[in-house]
Amino acid sequence: MTAYVYLHGFNSGPQSLKARETRSWLELHAPSVDWYCPQLSPHPEEAIQQARQLIESLPADTLLIGSSLGGYYACWLAHTLDRKAVLINPAMLPHMDLKQFAAELHNSRTDETSTLTRKDLDALMALHIEQPDPARYWVILGSRDEVLDWRAAARYFLGSRQTVFNGDNHRLARWPECLPHLADFAAGSSSSGA
């Protein structure tokens, strides 16, 4: 493993708790691994271009990690760029789920204000993959996710490695338990891990 790319969720950023936990763990346990966590545009078309440009500049064994909407992006990018991805409570139908946010939004992490438009929702719909390759993904879910239905992701990624933390929510407090197993997953190890 030479690099990890972490894609944050909707209206979030590189300072999210899971991103910081991942960076801190890597600094301590895998300092030779390069870490990238770009601040993604709130507009999906721009966000996917930003992420794709970064990933294409990195080695082929780069592991993608995506949380929520970032998981949706990571799914498409892994499929398109032939990478592996760890998806944390991934969004499944963000073009439907985010309709309620089609108004002015304020991101407290970046202090930016933006508006989600119909064009943005269409761009999200265009990233949907009909049949994801099960070997490409490790899906990590909380059974008490208050934002997204974890069962939809479990069904969609049937056959993929899955970890369901009973009672955990969208924040996924038990995410650090998965960190020691990322390299094995990226290398294709059959170890069950977390």
Distance in angstroms (rounded) separating the CA atoms of residues 174 and 55: 27
pLDDT for 181 equals 96
> Mean pLDDT, to the nearest integer, of 75-91?
97
Quick: pLDDT tens for 84-102.
999 999 999 776 666 565 6
Q: Comparing C-alpha atoms, which of 68, 82, 63 is closest to residue 179? A: 63
**Domain annotation covers residue 193:** no
What's the pLDDT at 112? Answer: 72
Domain count, the chain: 1
Full domain range(s) for residue 52: 3-187
pLDDT digits 0-9 by tens, 85-144: 999 999 997 766 665 656 666 566 666 766 778 898 899 999 999 999 999 999 999 999
Is residue 192 a part of any domain in this protein? Answer: no
pLDDT reported for residue 142: 96
- Residue 137 in domain: yes
pLDDT at residue 108, rounded to an integer:
63
Residue 36 resides in a domain: yes
For residue range 19-50, what is the model confidence (pLDDT) as tens digits? Answer: 999 999 999 999 999 999 999 998 999 999 99
155 domain residue, yes or no: yes
Would residue 77 count as lying in a domain?
A: yes
- Cα Rg for the chain, rounded, in angstroms? 15
Q: How far apart are CA 186 and CA 84, in angstroms?
A: 6
What is the mean predicted confidence (pLDDT) over 67-79? 97
Q: Which CATH number characterizes residue 48's domain?
A: 3.40.50.1820
* 79 falls within a domain: yes
Q: Is residue 169 in a domain? A: yes
